[in-house]
Amino acid sequence: MCTSCSWARDFSTSTNGSGHERLPFSATDLRATLEMTETTFPSNAGPSILSVSRLCKDYSGTQAVDGVSFSVGPHEILGLLGPNGAGKTTTINMILGVLEPSSGAIAIDGCDLARRRRQALERTNFAAVYAPLPGNLTVSQNLRVFGMLYGVRHLHERMDAVMRQFDLLRFRDTKCGVLSSGEQTRVELAKAMLNQPRLLLLDEPTASLDPATARDIRAAIREFAQQTGVGVLWTSHNMAEVAAVCHRVLFMSRGRILLEGDPRTLPAAHGHATLEDLFIAVAREPLTLRRAQDEE
C-alpha cells in the first residue's frame, strides 16, 4: 500500500468527519508575486502551529531521529533540509501520525498528537512526490474521497476552487494515472489545500514541475500562508527555491538538527557563499560543522 493510501486509512479511523469552516482560499493576482523577492520572517507570528519536542525514532538500535526539537509559526514557511538519510522523511511521517515516535512530543495547532490524534490530523495536510494519489481514480474522485475523509464543508465548491487554482478543471474527469508527472503534482497540491489546513507539509512540492509552473506554485503557497496563517514545513533539494521561499531553514544530519537560521545569511555565517554550498558541506562534513557550532 502506498504511503498516501496508508496515511488516508489511518486518518479515516481517527476522524469523525467533522470539519472546521475557515477563510476561503484565495490566490488573487498571483502574477504580482511571481518574482522571487527577499523573504522576511512574518512579523505577526503567534503561538506555534507545529511544535516538535525532543523527538526520537529508533530502529533496532539505530537512531533515525535523535532528539529533534523545532517549531513552525503561523504564516511561516520553514525549510527542513539535509542529505538523503538525514531523518527528514521519518520526521515528517511522525508528524503525520504514520510512524509512532520512540519518544518525544508533537503538537499541531495546540493539539497533542498522541492524545488528540483526530483533532491534530484534521488540521494537517501534505503533498509528497513519493506518495502519489490512486491512479485509477479521476482528479475529481480523488479530491472527493479526501474531502470526505477530512469532513470538508461545501466540498463541491472547495473542489472547484482548488481545481481552478491549480489549473485542473480540464482534467476533472481524467484518471490521475494518465496525467503527466507535473499534472499529478498539481493534483497532490490541490488535495493538500482542500481542507484549508493549519499545518501544511510539502516534500519536494515542485520537483516534477517546469520552471514557470513551479514559480506559480511557490507564489500560491506563499500567498496561502500569508492570507490564512497556515504554517508550512517544506523540504527540497532545490536550494535556490528554498532561499526564495523559506523564512527559516533547519539542516538535519544523521538524525539531528545541525544548523538553523535565515537561509539568506546562514551560509556566510559558516563560511560559504551560497545555501547550496552549505548543503554540500552538511552532507560531506557534518562533524566538522558540529564542532564549529559547539565552539561558538
Q: Is the entire prediction scored with pTM above 0.85?
A: no
Rounded-to-integer distance, Cα 6 and Cα 53, Å: 25
Check whether 201 has a pLDDT greater than 50. Answer: yes
Rounded-to-integer distance, Cα 77 and Cα 201, Å: 10
Q: What pLDDT is stored for residue 105 in this prediction?
A: 97
Q: Between 119 and 11, whose confidence is greater? A: 119
The crossing angle, in degrees rounded to 10, of helices 139-150 and 181-193 is 20
Rounded-to-integer distance, Cα 68 and Cα 105, Å: 10
In this predicted structure, which of 17-26, 152-161, 195-204 has the lowest mean pLDDT?
17-26
C-alpha cell at 38: 527577499
Q: What pLDDT is stored for residue 199 in this prediction?
A: 97
The string of pLDDT tens digits covering residues 8-58 is: 444 334 444 443 333 333 333 333 332 333 344 454 445 899 999 999 999
Task: Taking residues 65-77, report their average pLDDT.
Answer: 96
The string of pLDDT tens digits covering residues 234-282 is: 999 999 999 999 999 999 999 999 999 999 999 999 999 999 999 998 8
Partner residues linked to 34 by β-bridges:
none
Amino acid at 219: A
Residue 153 phi/psi, 5-degree rounding, is: -80, 150
- Among 102, 145, 148, 109, CA closest to 228: 109
Boundaries of CATH 3.40.50.300 in the chain? 58-123+198-296
Q: What pLDDT is stored for residue 39 in this prediction?
A: 40
Rounded-to-integer distance, Cα 285 and Cα 253, Å: 10
Q: How confident is the model at residue 6 (pLDDT cuts 50, 70, 90)?
A: very low
Q: Which 3-state string (H, E, C) describes 174-193? A: CEHHHCCHHHHHHHHHHHHH
Amino acid at 98: V
3-state DSSP assignment of residue 240: helix
Check whether 7 has a pLDDT greater than 60. Answer: no
Q: What pLDDT is stored for residue 101 in this prediction?
A: 96
Is 58-123+198-296 assigned to CATH 3.40.50.300? Answer: yes
Q: What pLDDT is stored for residue 294 in this prediction?
A: 53
Rounded-to-integer distance, Cα 147 and Cα 191, Å: 8
Task: Taking residues 104-110, report their average pLDDT.
Answer: 96
Q: What pLDDT is stored for residue 3 in this prediction?
A: 43
Phi-psi group of 75: left, alpha or beta (phi > 0 → left; psi -120 to 50 → alpha; rest → beta)? left
